[in-house]
Amino acid sequence: MLTVALDVPSAQILADQASIIQDLQFVMECCKRLLTELARPEEDRDAVVPQALWSSALVAYGRCFGKGKRFGLAAEDVRTLPLEGEVMKYHKWVIEERNRLTTHPANPFEAARVGAALSLPGQAERRVQGIAVLSTSHVLVDDTGVRQLGGLASELAKQTAEKAQQQQDSVLADAQQLNIDTLDKLPPLHMRSAAAGD
């Protein structure tokens, strides 16, 4: 069967929904791997791995709500989820954490503190002996927070998949209205299986 690329508004919406689902699945996978990492004894962990997984999950989640997207998700999508608790509060916190992660702080003291190392009190001649620079650590939540983000991403993915299923019907109806000869002239879409090499 020949598959050709469609560039109609309904197909753009469906493509956006598909990319959102892909991002949310990535968030869920990061959370799953992060839970495995957090279950390991702290001395056996590579400190970079949990931070990398959490950061990646925050960025992918936030991308779903980005203003740069043509359609994307909105706060209303979160409000309508069948979840209990402070869902909106947690969602807003996640977006704020992503924003902190992806922007350089306006105040440099948010990222690092600089101090003067003083000689001990009681010494005959007190003076500044050196300078200390202390980096602030990035927030890494516990397994409860990771589970919350994974659950939130899962519910949003389900909700978006339901909308995408309905959107497929709209795209099909739009495509069926197009002239078959015109469609035959469009560039073919080459389907690659997940196992196919690059």
Spell 152-169 as b/e; 16+ CB within 10 A means b: bbbbbbebbeebbeebee
- In sequence order, what are the beta bridge partners of 59? none
Nearest to 32, CA basis, from 146, 141, 140, 142: 146
User: Contact at 8 Å (CB) between 27 and 153?
Assistant: yes
Structure tokens, 77:
């999508």
Exposed (0-12), middle (13-18) or buried (19+): which is 19, by Cβ within 10 Å? middle
Q: Can you give the pLDDT at residue 67?
A: 74
Exposed (0-12), middle (13-18) or buried (19+): which is 54, by Cβ within 10 Å? buried
How far, rounded to the nearest angstrom, does the alpha carbon of residue 120 sit from its chain's CA centroid?
Answer: 48
Q: Which helix (H) or strand (E) segment is 118 a member of?
A: strand 112-118
Q: Can you give the pLDDT at residue 143?
A: 87
Q: Which helix (H) or strand (E) segment is 113 a member of?
A: strand 112-118
How far, rounded to the nearest angstrom, does the alpha carbon of residue 118 sit from its chain's CA centroid?
Answer: 44
Residue with token string 């902190």:
100
| Residues listed for the chain | 198
Q: Can you give the pLDDT at residue 198?
A: 43
Global pTM value:
0.79
Taking phi over 0 as left and psi of -120 to 50 as alpha, with beta for the rest, 136 belongs to: beta
Whole-angstrom distance between the N-terminal and C-terminal Cα of the chain?
Answer: 23
Per-residue pLDDT in tens (0 to 9) along the chain, 198 residues: 788 888 888 999 999 999 999 999 999 999 999 999 999 998 888 888 998 999 999 999 999 998 765 678 999 999 999 999 999 999 999 999 998 888 877 777 777 888 888 888 888 888 888 998 887 666 567 889 999 999 999 999 999 999 999 999 999 999 999 888 888 888 888 766 545 444
Torsion of CA 69, 73, 96, 148, to 10 degrees: -140
Q: Domains of the chain: which residue ranges? A: 9-104+140-180
